[in-house]
Copies of this chain bind each other. A is one copy, B any other.
Amino acid sequence: MSLNVEQLQQEVEFQLSQLDFPKQPESLYDPLRYMLSLGGKRMRPILVLLANNLFGGKMEQAMPAALGLEVFHNFTLLHDDIMDKAPLRRGNSTVHEKWNGNIAILSGDAMFVKSCQLITQTHSAAMPDVMNLFLKTALEVCEGQQLDMDFETRETVDVDEYIEMIKLKTAVLVGACLGIGAQIAGATEEEVKHAYDFGVNLGVAFQLQDDILDVYGDEQKFGKQVGGDIIANKKTFLLLTALKNASGETASKLQHWLNYQGDDNLTKVNAIKEIYAALHVKQSAETKMNDLYSEALSHLDALPIDQNRTTALRKLSSMLMLRES
Contacts and interface: CB of A to CB of B under 8 A. Distances in A.
A145 interface: yes
A27 B79 CA distance: 17
A50 to B, nearest CB: 26
A98 to B, nearest CB: 16
A102 B108 CA distance: 14
A135 interface: yes
A106 B79 contact: yes
Contacts of A135: 113, 116-117, 120
Contacts of A132: 120
A150 B112 contact: no
A131 interface: yes
A142 interface: yes
Contact of A25 (B24, B25, B103, B147): B147
Contacts of A117: 135-136, 139
27 contacts: A24-B143, A25-B147, A28-B142, A79-B105, A79-B106, A82-B105, A83-B106, A103-B146, A105-B105, A106-B146, A106-B149, A107-B142, A108-B109, A109-B112, A110-B143, A113-B135, A113-B138, A114-B139, A116-B131, A116-B135, A116-B138, A117-B135, A117-B136, A120-B131, A120-B132, A124-B128, A127-B128
| For the complex of A and B, 8 pairs with smallest distance between CB atoms | A28-B146, A110-B142, A83-B102, A25-B146, A113-B138, A113-B139, A117-B135, A116-B135
